[in-house]
Amino acid sequence: MKIKAVIIEDEAASRLTLRNYLLKYCPQIELLGEAANIKEGYDLIQKTQPQLVFLDIEMPFGNAFDLLDKYTEIPFETIFVTAFSNYALQAINLSSCSYLLKPVDIDELIIAVDKVVDNLVQQSGFKTANILLENLSIENKQLKKIVLPTMEGFDVVKLKDIIRCKANDNLTDFYLADGKKKTVCKTLKFFEEALTEFNFLRVHKSHIININYVDSYQKGKTGEIKLNNGISVPLSSSRKDRFMLKFTF
């Protein structure tokens, strides 16, 4: 399956590197053109109607989100490219969008492209970048949404509806306010990094909790946190200080 793609990146050297990597390692990609800024990029997209856009996050005269915000519904898949591991990546991780850190790693590029191929083959019509833009417009952290890749496909869940997450080998079990459990195809470590800024806290090697659901805490050799759905989770001594800071007035 050939995928029509464009590159929008302000650095000529980065465009050249990505172009060469795609030609050598991703033969399913057909490059239709390149652009060096948001305006040129938008015009290129309108002209070529690509299925995939490789999009640098920070560029002169605007960023990637300024371009995406021009669309009511984003009609293409997006792989973000950035030199910085910054605030934007938290939002990207919530939405399950693909991104590459510069310098681009070939293996990561192949994985990201394969993910796009799978999405296009399934023809779901769902674009994770739409969730990303929605999240960026929401100020209340707990009203933001997260895309959870499951064995059957994916679920979109509001953060406020997640009570806790529990490690399940290389998977993660999500326990929701409606009593449902979702098994997600990512590690607990991934969600520790993705959710920390959104009122979630890792309290044990196997547990992350939404602090809005904490009902009480009991001291002990191993502390115990009781959540308001009646479930208790252990608090590791090494994580106690961070937990207590959340409830210091």
Domain count, the chain: 2
Q: Which ranges in 96-127 belong to alpha helices (H)?
A: 106-122
Q: Indicate the pTM of the whole model.
A: 0.83
- Asked if residue 50 belongs to a domain, the reply is yes
Q: Examine residue 145 and state whether it is found in any structural domain, yes or no.
A: no
CATH of the domain at 7: 3.40.50.2300
Strand order in the sheet with 223-227: 214-218, 223-227, 232-235
Which pair of tokens denotes residue 222? 């191993």
Residue 190 sits in a domain whose CATH number is 2.40.50.1020
Residues 46 and 92 occupy one common structural domain: yes
Take residue 4 and report the two structure tokens written for it.
Answer: 């029509």
Name 208's bridge partners: 165, 202
Angstrom distance (rounded) from CA 107 to CA 127: 23
pLDDT in tens, the chain (249 residues): 799 999 999 999 999 999 999 999 999 999 999 999 999 999 999 999 999 999 999 888 888 999 999 998 899 999 999 887 665 787 888 898 999 999 999 999 999 999 898 888 876 667 889 999 999 889 899 999 999 988 888 899 999 999 999 999 999 999 999 999 999 999 999 999 999 989 999 999 999 999 999 999 998 777 899 999 999 999 999 999 999 998 875
Statement to judge: residues 104 and 186 lie in one domain: no
Residue 64 domain flag:
yes
pLDDT at residue 168, as a whole number: 96
Q: Which domain does 118 fall in, by range?
A: 3-134
Q: How many CB atoms lie within 10 A of CB 110?
A: 13
181 and 129 share one domain: no
ω before 103 within 30° of 0 (cis)? yes
Assess if residue 114 is contained within a domain: yes
In a domain, 183, yes or no: yes
Q: How far apart are CA 144 and CA 95, in angstroms?
A: 10
Evaluate whether residue 142 is within a structural domain.
no
* Pair (86, 7) in one structural domain: yes
Q: Is 79 helix (H, G, I), strand (E, B) or coil?
A: strand
Do 110 and 205 have their domain in common?
A: no
- 109 and 218 share a domain? no
How far is CA 22 from each of CA 34, 81, 86, 100, rounded to the nearest angstrom?
13, 14, 25, 13
Considering the domain architecture, whether residues 130 and 223 belong to the same structural domain is answered as no
